[in-house]
Amino acid sequence: MRHTWFFISYALGSLVVPLLVMAQSDWVYYGQDPGGMKYSTLKQINTSNVANLQRAWTFHTGDNGGFFSSTPLVVSNVMYFTTASGVYALEADTGKQLWKYDAQRAARRGVSYWPGDGQVGPRILANIGTKMVALDAKTGIPAPEFGANGSVDMQTSWGSPPAIYKNLAIAGGGLPVVRAWDLRTGALVWTFKLIAQPGDPGHETWTGDSWKDPGGTNVWGFLSVDAERGMVFAPVSQAGTDYSGVERAGDNLYSDCIVALDANTGKLKWYQQLVHHDIWDYDLAAQPTLIDIDQNGRRIPAVVQHTKMGMLFIYDRLTGKPVFGVEERPVPQSEVPGEKTSATQPFPVKPVPLARMSMKKEDLYDLTKEHAQFCKDLWEKNNVFSEGPYTPWVTKETGRTALTFPGAIGGGNWGGVSFDPNLQLIFANVGNNGQWGYLVKNPSPN
C-alpha cells in the first residue's frame, strides 16, 4: 500500500472547508462530517508523542468466529460500533459496556447517529441482514414506533449504514435504488431508481430489455450530504456481472456514476459517469468528499470522487461540471464476441492519476535472480499483456492473459480521501494492486 498526498493549492487552486468542523472530540459520522472530510481538529496526539502511546483499555466482544468491519462513532463520550453479532455502546474513555443490541448476526460497516428532533430522542441506525434497525441511543432498545417494532425491511442486504439528513435516513443497498425513510416512523419518503427508466435521461444507454434486471447498479458505499443545500451524493456501482457486459451493450446509466439528488425529494439534480460500460469491477466504492475551492476569486462548492482506477475526479457539486476538466480518451477495445466496450473513457485533466496505471515485463521484481526468472517465466507462460486500467479481457481460447493496473482492489477503493482545510491538503490511500485473468464460457445455459 502506497500513501500518496498532493498539495491542492499548488496544482488545483485554493480550497476551504465547506462545513463547520467539529472542535470537540466527537466523531458523529463515518467521515467525521456529513460531507466525508475525515478531518479532526484534535492535537493532543501528535508526531512528538505518538510513539509513547500506551493501551488505555481493551474490550472483548465475545464473538466466536466470523469477522466484522466497523468505523466507530463517538458522541458525548459514548462509542457506538458494530461486531459480528450486533451493536455495542461503550464509555469511550474507559471501555465500559453501556449496552448491547444482540442481533445474532453481523451489523455491517458501522452505524449512523441521529440526534433526534426534540420530540423523539437520539437513535442509532444499523444495517442488519435485510433490515434497517433503529435503536434508542441511551438504551440500545429498538424504537417500537419505527417501522415494525424498530426496523424496516430493505428487501435485500445492504452495504453501509444510512446518511442522515434532517429527519431522513437515506441509504442505498443491494437493490438499484436510493431510498429515504422518516427517522421517526420508518415510513418510506422517496425512492430514486439507479437504472435509467424509460423516459429518463440515459435510458437509451441500455439495449433492449437489459435495463430491466441487469444486476448491480446499486450503492454499497457511504453517501455524502450537503445539508446546507439539501443535496445527497451517491457513488454507484457497476452494472451486471463484473467482467462481462455482452448482454448489456451501452454505457449503462447510472452505473459507475456520481449521482446528485435533492435530499428532500429524491429528484435527480445531475450525474456524471466515471466508467462507461464497466467490465472491470470499477464500482465507485469511496464516499464522495465535499470541499470548497477558491478559483480565480470564485468559491466553488465541489465534490471529490476517488476511484479504483486511481483517478481523482472533482466536480462542481451544484452543477456537476468538472472543476479542472475531464476529457474522453480512446481506450483499447474488446475482441470478445458480442462485447461492445466504450471507445473512450473519462480521464481528469487534473490531478494526474495517483496510482500506477500500467505494468510491463521489465517492471517485474528482480531483487534475486531466482525470483526474477520465476516472474519472467510466469509472464511468458501466460502470454500476459497490459494496456492500462481499461485493458479488455480476452477469452481463454486466445492463449493470452489480460493484466489491468490498477485492479478491482486497487486505486482509491473503499478508503477515499481526507481533507485538511488548514494545510490545504488532500490525503489519499492508494493501492498499486493489479489483476489478471481471462474469460471462460459458463457451461450453464442460464
- DSSP assignment of 352-405, as one string? PPSS-----GGGS--SSHHHHHHHHHHHHHTTEE--STTPPP-BGGGT-EEEES
Q: Give me the sign of the Cα torsion angle 264, 173, 304, 416.
A: positive
**Structure confidence at residue 19 (pLDDT):** 39
Look up residue 32 and give its three cell numbers: 467525521
Specify whether domain 20-45+59-166 bears CATH 1.20.210.10: no
Among residues 25, 11, 112, 119, the alpha carbon closest in space to that of 71 is found at 112
Q: Residue 185 corresponds to which amino acid? A: T
Q: What is the mean pLDDT of the chain?
A: 91
Pairing of strands 401-404, 384-385: parallel
Q: Is the pLDDT of residue 11 over 80?
A: no
What are the beta bridge partners of residue 306? 312
Q: Cell numbers of 95, please? A: 471501555
Q: Which residue has the higher pLDDT, 3 or 289?
A: 289
- Residue 148 grid cell: 415494525
Residues 6 or more apart whose Cβ sits within 8 Å of residue 220? 158, 159, 160, 172, 173, 174, 237, 283, 285
Which pLDDT score is estimated for 313?
Answer: 98
At residue 365, the pLDDT reads: 84
SS3 51: helix
The three cell numbers locating residue 179: 431510498
Backbone angles phi, psi at 142, to 5 degrees: -55, 135
% of the chain exceeding 70 in pLDDT: 94
What letters, b where the CB count within 10 A reaches 16 and e where it falls short, cover 350-372? Answer: ebebbbbbebeeeeeeeeeeeee
Model's pTM, two decimal places?
Answer: 0.92
Mean pLDDT of 240-248: 91
User: What pLDDT, on a 0 to 100 scale, did the predictor assign at position 193?
Assistant: 97
| Whole-angstrom distance, CA of residue 419 vs CA of residue 53 | 25
What contacts 326, CB < 8 A, 6 or more positions away?
272, 313, 346, 347, 348, 349
Q: What pLDDT was estimated at residue 1?
A: 37
Which tens digits make up the pLDDT trace of 76-112? 999 999 998 899 999 999 999 999 999 877 777 889 9
What band does 14 get if pLDDT is binned at 50, 70 and 90?
A: very low
What's the pLDDT score for residue 267?
98
Residue 128 β-bridge partners? 107, 131
**Taking the alpha carbons of 392, 407, 170, 300 in that order, is the dihedral positive or negative?**
negative
Cβ(34)–Cβ(226) under 8 Å? Answer: yes
Percent of the chain with pLDDT over 90: 78
| Residue 401 and residue 356 in contact, taking contact as beta carbons nearer than 8 Å | no
The mean per-residue pLDDT over the stretch 144-151 comes to 96
pLDDT band at 424 (very low <50, low <70, confident <90, very high): confident
Residue 446: pLDDT band with limits 50, 70, 90: low
Q: Residue 13's pLDDT is what? A: 39
Phi first, then psi: give them for residue 438, nearest 5 degrees. Answer: -150, 170
pLDDT value of residue 272: 98
Among 286, 437, 271, 422, which residue's Cα sits nearest to residue 354? 286
Q: For residue 216, give the DSSP letter.
A: B
SS3 content of the chain, % helix, strand, coil (to 5): 5, 35, 60
Evaluate the CA torsion angle 154, 164, 236, 269 in order and state its sign.
Answer: positive
CA distance 57 to 182: 37
Q: Specify the pLDDT at position 63.
A: 81
